[in-house]
Structure 1
Amino acid sequence: MVDWQTIDTVLLDMDGTLLDLRYDNTLWNELVPERYSLAQGLELNAARQTLFAQMSELRGDLLFYCLDHWASYTELDIVGLHRELAHLISYRPNAERFLNQVRAAGKRSLLVTNAHRDSLRVKDQHSDLIEKLDKDISCHDYGAPKEDPRFWARLRREHPYDPQRTLLIDDNAAVLEAAEQSGIRHLITVARPDSGRPARTGLSHRAIHDFEEIMPGAAASP
C-alpha cells in the first residue's frame, strides 16, 4: 500500500489514528454529558441534546477542539475529566511499533493534531507519544484546525516538506480532503478508529485496520 522509497515525511494524526478513539468517544459522549447533567440539574437526555447540538454547530471549527471553550460552556473541569479516563488511553494496533519503524527507516515524522495542548499533555503522560516523533503540532498553535487550508499553508512554511513525497494518515475525511487540496499526495485513513465500534465502510480514501499493513521494511503491498 505504501512505497516507502517515495516517502520522506510522515504526518500523523493522534486521536483515532495513533491512539484509540474509544477514549475520546467515552469522554465526550458519556462522561461529559453525565457530569453536565448533574451540574446543571438536567435529565441526561436533555444534557446530551444540549451538548451535542453545540458540538454539531461547531464541528470543523477551532472552538470544537478547544478545551477552554468547553470548560467555559459546561462549567466543568474538562482537563480533570480527561484524567479520570486516562486508563482508556492506548495505541491502535501496531501504532507504537510503526512509529519506531518510521524512525528506524530514516523518515521524518510529525504529529499533526486538532487536539488542544492540554489534551495532548494528558495523553502523552500515559503513552510517551511525543518522544516517538520528530515534532508535535497542535492546530491551536496555528489558530486554525486541520480542516482549514491555513493550517496546511503554515505547517509547510514552518516545517518545509515536499507534498509529493509526504504521507498523511488521518481518520478524518474532511482533514484528508483539505490536505489533498494543499497538494499532499499520499493519503491514508483508518477503518476502525474506535476499538469499541465496528469498522467503517465506504470511505473515500485507502484505509488500514492495522499499522502492520504499511510497516516500513515490510514487503510492499499492491
Structure 2
Amino acid sequence: MRWWYERDPNNDQFLASVVVTNPCRWAAANVTFTVLPLDGQGHEILSAGRRVQDNFTVGLIMPGQRAAGWTYFTHQESPSEVVSLRIQRDVKLSRTCWVNPAASGYRTTARATDIAVGKRDTSRSVTNGQAEVSFVVTRDPATYALGKRIVSVIFRDSSGRLLNANGQSIGSDSRYGQRKHFMTWVPVKADTKRTEVMLEPEQNNPTSSCMARP
C-alpha cells in the first residue's frame, strides 16, 4: 500500500490518495478503507473532540492488481500540523466479498496507453490547476467486452513519489483503440511524464458470487 497527501490551495482541501494491491488469488470486492490524518507525534488529529477520519471503498480488485482510492478533508478538519496518514481496512463498515475471478464478470485485462497530459491551467478561474488527460483504451484479449471501468489517474513527482490519485467512470461501450479525454486536477509538483492511468473493474453486484475468504 502506498499513500500520499497534498493540500489543494485552490479549494483549501487536504487531499489523501492511496494505491492498494490485492496479493490474494481471489478478487476482493467492496473493500472499505479508513483514512486518519496524524500529527508529528503520530497521534490522531481531533476536531470538536472527535477524531478526524474518512472512508473510501474500492469496488473490485482483481488478483495481483492495484486499485486507487482517494478522499479529502476540509481545512477545519485537517489543520496544518498534519504530517502523515494512517490507512486501515475498516472491518466494521466493509462488507468485503471474496470472489472467484472467473465469476467476477471481468475476463479482460484493460490498459491505458499513449497517455498525454495537457497544459495545466494557471488562471484564477474555477479551472485553476486542471488539465486535460487523454489515453487510448486497449485490452487483452481484444475480443472480450471491456465492461464498466473506473479510470484512476495517478500523479507522481520527479522522484516517483505518489502525489495524487483521482478519477471517474467510463462506460462499457468504450471501443478498443478509442482515445478518452477528461479534465482533472494536477498537483503543482507533478511530473506529467510519470502519469499513470489505471482502468479498474467496477463490480455491479459482487454479493451474488461471494465466497469465504481463502
Q: TM-score, normalised by structure 1?
A: 0.28
Structure number with greater CO (CA < 8 Å, separation at least 6) is 1
Higher helix share: 1
Q: State TM-score, norm by structure 2.
A: 0.29
